[in-house]
Amino acid sequence: MDVNAHIKSPPSRHKLTHSSLLPPPHRYSIVLFCIANFLFWASLYLYVPIFPVYIQSLGASLSIVGVVVSAYAIPQVLLRIPIGIWSDNLGRRKPLVVAGIIVTSLGALGLGLAANPWQLFLARLTTGIGAATWVVFTIYFTAYYRPESSGRAIGLINFVQGGALVVATAGGGALAQTLGSRQTFLAAAVLAVAGLAALAFTREQPAEPRDVFTWRGFSSVATRPLLLTVSVMGILFQFTVHAGVFGFIPVYAAKIGGSSADLGFITMLTLGSSMIGNLTAVWVWDRLGHRAAILGGALLIGASTLTIPFIQKIPALMAVQVGYGLGRGILTTSLMALSIRDVSPGHRATAMGVYQAIYAVGMLSGPLVSGFLGDRLGLASIFFLAAALSLLIAALAFSPVFAKR
C-alpha cells in the first residue's frame, strides 16, 4: 500500500490556490465547524477548575482523586489509534465526530448525576472516550484545505480549541459558584448538544480513496521516522504540560500566596498565550522552518519552567506563564502538523491516531510521576524535571528527520 499516494496530485476540490485561513469555497462550513469545535472543548473543560474539589466532596481521598482525574486519559491512550483506522476505513469522518460529541454530552450528564467517586470515574472515562475522537475532528477540518496548507488548518483549529479552554475554565468556576457544581456538569452537556447542532450544518468533504486496511499498511504509516520522532516529542511535551499548568503550577502558586482568583487567572493567562502560540507556529515555520518552531517552543517552556522554583511573587509567576503558554501553543501546533506531513489524505486519521495515542502516555504519566516525585523531593523537583524534558525536546529537533523541514 502506497501511503504517499495523491501527495503530488492534490484532489480536484483544491483547485483554488487561495491560502487564507478561510478558503472561500468552504468558508461557511469552516466557521460552523469552528463553532462546533469550540463548544465541544468548552463542554470538556467547563468543569475542570472545580472537578478535583467536587470529587473530594463526595468522600474521595487524594489518591482516589488522582485515579478519577486520570480516567480521562485512559481511553485516549487505548482508542485513538483504532478510531483513526476506523475513520480511514469508513471513508467518512462526520459520523465519528457526531458520536464523539454525543458521548461527551452523556459523560458530562453522568458527572452531574454521579452519587459517588466511582460513578464519577465511569463518567469521566466516558468523556475521555469522547475526547479520543479529536483525532477525527482534526482530519475532518484539514480536508477543507489544500494538503500543503494542512499546518495552517491545524493552527486555526488549535487556536479555536485554546479559546474554548480559556472561556470554559474562566466561566466554569463562576458558574459553579453561582448555580452549583452539578449544574455546571449539566451545562457542559448542553454545550455539547449545541455543538452538535452547529456541526449538522457543515458539509463534509469526500475522503480520499485508499486501500483496504492491512497490518502491513498500518505499519508503513505508524513506523514513519517523522511520525515516531514527533510522537516521542509529544510524550515529553504532554508530560511537562500535565505536570505543569494542568498539574502542579497551581499548587506552587497557592504555596506562594495565590488566591483562588489568582489560580484561575494564571490558568487563563497560560491558555490565552497558547492561543497566540498556535498561530505564531504557522508564522515561524513559514519563515524559518519546523525545526526553528520546535526549538523556540521547547526553549520557551524549558526556560519558563526552570525559573518557577525561584519565583516568590504571583505577578512574576503570571509573567513567566506568558512565555510558557506561547511555547505550549507553538509546540502543540508544530508537532500535530508534522504528524500528518507527507502522509496521503486517506491515511491521515491513522497517522493522527498514532500520534495522539502515543502522546497521551505523557498525559497519563505526567501527573502520576510528578506527584510521586514531589512527595519525596519537593515541588521544585517537578519543575526541574519538566525543564530537563523540554531541553530534550529541543535536542530532538536536531534529528535528521527535520533536516529539510
User: Are residues 332 and 222 part of one domain?
Assistant: yes
Q: Residues 190, 300: one domain?
A: no
Query: What is the enclosing helix (H) or strand (E) of 156?
Result: helix 150-179
In a 3-state reduction of DSSP, which class is residue 264? helix
pLDDT of 190 reads: 97
Which among 201, 235, 252 is the end of a domain? 201
Instruction: Please work out, in degrees rounded to the nearest 5, the angle formed at the alpha carbon of residue 139 by the alpha carbons of 133 and 142.
Output: 145
Q: Residues 353, 85: contact at Cβ < 8 Å?
A: yes
In a domain? residue 37:
yes
Residue 226 lies in a domain: yes
Q: Is residue 80 part of a domain?
A: yes
Residue 11 lies in a domain: no
Residue 206 lies in a domain: no
Within 10 A of 292 (CB to CB), how many other CB atoms are there? Answer: 17
Same domain, 285 and 190: no
Asked which of 153, 174, 201 is the last residue of a domain, the reply is 201
On whether both 194 and 340 belong to a single domain, the answer is: no
Using left for φ > 0, alpha for ψ between -120 and 50, and beta otherwise, residue 191 falls in: alpha
Do 143 and 239 belong to one domain?
Answer: no
Q: Are residues 189 and 271 in the same domain?
A: no
In a shared domain, residues 235 and 154: no
The answer to whether residues 117 and 45 belong to one domain is yes
Domain edge (last residue) among 201, 229, 244: 201
- What pLDDT is recorded for position 394? 96
What CATH number is associated with residue 292? 1.20.1250.20
Q: How far apart are CA 354 and CA 336, in angstroms?
A: 11
Task: Tell me whether residue 275 is in a domain.
Answer: yes
Domain that holds residue 69: 26-201
**Residues comprising the chain, all counted:** 405
Model pLDDT, residue 345: 73
**Residue 116 corresponds to which cell in the numbers above?**
459517588
Domain membership flag for residue 400: yes
CA nearest to 151, candidates 272, 4, 287: 287
- What CA–CA distances, in Å, run from 362 to 176, 236, 254? 29, 6, 25
List of residues 6+ apart from 389 with CB closer than 8 A: 236, 239, 240
**CA quadruple 272, 274, 278, 281: dihedral positive or negative?**
positive
47 in any annotated domain: yes
- pLDDT at residue 24 in the model: 66
Residues 177 and 292 grouped into a single domain: no
- Please indicate, yes or no, whether residues 179 and 31 belong to a single structural domain of this protein: yes
Give the chain's domain count. Answer: 2
- Rounded to 10°, the helix 314-339/150-179 angle is 140
Q: Are residue 255 and residue 363 in the same domain, yes or no?
A: yes
**pLDDT value for 5:** 43
Report pLDDT digits (tens) over 55-86: 878 887 766 776 787 788 889 889 988 888 88
Residue 190 and residue 223 in one domain = no
Ranges of residues in the chain with a pLDDT under 70 are 1-24, 62-63, 66, 207-213, 260-261, 264, 404-405
- Among 196, 159, 143, smallest CA distance to 13 is for 143
